[in-house]
Amino acid sequence: MTINTLDWTSAWNGRVSKADAAPFDIRCGDLALRLATEIRANRLPFINLPYREELEKDLEAQTPWLQSFEHMLLLGIGGSALGARALQKAFYPQQDRPCHNGRSLWIADNVDAATLDAWFELLPPEKTVVVVISKSGGTIETLSQYFLARLWLQKSLGDDWKRHVMLITDEAKGYLRQEANALGLASMPVPDYLGGRYSVLSAVGLVPAAFLGMDWKALIRGALAVGAPLLNMGAGASELHRHPSWKLAVWNSALMAKGYSQIIFFSYVPLWAQFGLWFTQLWAESLGKEGKGSMPLPAVGVTDQHSTQQMFLDGPRDKACLLLSSPSLSRGSQFGNDLPEEWAYLRGAHFGDLLQAEGLGTQMALTKTGTPLIELRMGRTGEEEAGRLMALLEITTVLTGWLLDINPLDQPAVELGKRLANARLGAQGYAEESADLEAFLGRAPEQQEF
């Protein structure tokens, strides 16, 4: 039997010690009560997945239709795209390999006019389903893509365009929900209280997973297994105190109190590299508030040993590390015995052995230079393990936010940029933002050619 483990051997390193955890650890009782209350009220649905039964029923019914297409064009940004991309790269790597001729997922997660136009030019509309994801139904980047995609489909397919669209949005409100109801478009809900960065194990991430043929039910099973000990907590706090998410939250809070302002997510599971970008949004958007939080830094082993690791090892001592590894990765091709003498130590070894050695080397080097480090060692790298990892990091993020006395479920600062962009585009109702724009654009320029 393979298991997943957290290795704490190098966690209390550098300026941080177990004693620094005490001021945070004593809050376990109060936060256990808060957690139990929020779970029972379904305000943390990514832990108990109260929508699971309906989701599984709907997704099983929709999968044959989804898989009747050769291409899926996913329109979404931030949490509407990062989880889907992480799963795609981890469990459908064949799309990036030579001579791929199976189904393909294309994710439009930016305002990139050239790429969007290229997709419209090259994708066959009759073989493409467009999936539009926005919880609010009003995300301007996603809606603008949808308006253009709708026009593209209509030009080629006429009235049949509606059969090529699915909207994933709020169950009751917002423009996309109105659109789905008015036009009879296929749709699936984003449950209440499920923000984008916590939504990967809902229709947001599982619709593209089902399209690509992943074992999406295993993703759900894995997540539920991690949350299960927290669903029936008794009057005490013992269940939470033993839970790895609590220990990680206390560790991160102690790190921040000691001036560690950055947390490296170093993936030595190559196909899981995109989990680092998913974690970056989860952590940064949840905890970067009121001058608090730590900056997540995604890194890929061994690629970033030749770039950012110089800074990690010899730069400011303000970084801690979560290092993702797995002993079960493929060892790959074996080296022959005809290697030059200076490389004789590789004779008979496997290419994958190099990754394991490099990961150990990085772990030891970071520890030696005083970097607090926890190894997330995955026994296997299947869908169930991915669900476990995502659930663990989501719960850790919420608990860390509570220990910092901030709300880890909102993102107030993000809205300012959106309001200013809307004002710039001429939207109504942004008088204050329009005035700020006028002042900003009216500044005397100070420029230099290069």
Are 390 and 376 in contact by the 8 Å Cβ rule? The answer is no
441: buried, middle or exposed (CB in 10 Å: 19+, 13-18, 0-12)?
Answer: exposed
3-state secondary structure of 380: coil
Which tokens in the block code for residue 271?
Answer: 């196909």
Is 71 an annotated catalytic residue? Answer: no
CB-CB contact of 414 with 41 (8 Å): no
Residue 303's nearest CA partner among 261, 327, 274, 281 is: 274
Which is the catalytic residue, given 162, 241, 292, 418? 418
Question: 60 catalytic, yes or no?
Answer: no
Rounded Cα distance between 105 and 107, Å, is 7
Distance of CA 37 to the CA centre of its chain: 26
Strands (E), 64-127: 71-75, 104-108
SS3 string of 132-170?
EEECCCCCHHHHHHHHHHHHHHHHHHHHHHHHHEEEEEE
What is the C-alpha to C-alpha distance for residues 292 and 257, in angstroms, rounded to an integer? 10
Contact 260, 266 (CB under 8 A): no
DSSP 92: -
> 38, 141, 179, 285: which is the annotated catalytic residue?
285
Residue 243 is among the residues annotated as catalytic for this protein? no
Q: What is the dihedral of CA 34, 39, 41, 44, to 10 degrees?
A: 100
Question: Which of the residues 53, 121, 306, 449 is marked catalytic?
Answer: 306
C-alpha to C-alpha distance for 21 and 17, rounded to whole angstroms: 7
Q: Which helix (H) or strand (E) holds 131?
A: strand 128-134
Q: What is the DSSP letter of 334?
A: B
Alpha-carbon distance 281 to 78, whole Å?
7
Compute CA 115 distance to the chain's CA centroid, rounded to the nearest angstrom: 23
Active site residues: 285, 306, 418
